[in-house]
Amino acid sequence: DGGITQSPKYLFRKEGQNVTLSCEQNLNHDAMYWYRQDPGQGLRLIYYSQIVNDFQKGDIAEGYSVSREKKESFPLTVTSAQKNPTAFYLCASSMTGGGTGSYEQYFGPGTRLTVT
């Protein structure tokens, strides 16, 4: 089945530790995205990548890092510099096109990260 997978579903870490969240897609999409959701709020953009080996900061990139070495994979590392890392993290992907065109985004099931 084609889709987006995120692992693990739940993740618990101690304060001061870096943690990496996995996102894999087999939709042959060029673009991938990471969003963060806090309770009762909408999603906010952390990082996005339109093509392999290239990515851009979103609205809340501080304390996070990403890599895009393969088209299918876009892992997110939550570093110890992120002051409030406990949240729900969602990964998405979409096709890309030239000009100002924009394509439908599809989301994975998310990872709930708790840092104590």
Partner 1 sequence: GIQVEQSPPDLILQEGANSTLRCNFSDSVNNLQWFHQNPWGQLINLFYIPSGTKQNGRLSATTVATERYSLLYISSSQTTDSGVYFCAVVAGRRALTFGSGTRLQVQP
Question: Where along the sequence are the contacts to partner 1 (CB under 8 A)?
Answer: 31, 33, 35, 37, 41-45, 48, 50, 56, 58-59, 88, 90, 92, 94, 96, 100-107, 109-110, 112
**Residues facing 11 on adjacent strands:** 113
CB of 95 to partner 1, least distance (A): 10
Could you tell me whether strands 87-94 and 43-51 are parallel, antiparallel, or unpaired per DSSP bridges? Answer: unpaired
80 or 107: CB nearest partner 1? 107
Asked if residue 11 lies in contact with residue 20, where contact means CB atoms within 8 angstroms, the answer is no
* Cis preceding linkage at 39, omega within 30: no
15 or 54: CB nearest partner 1? 54
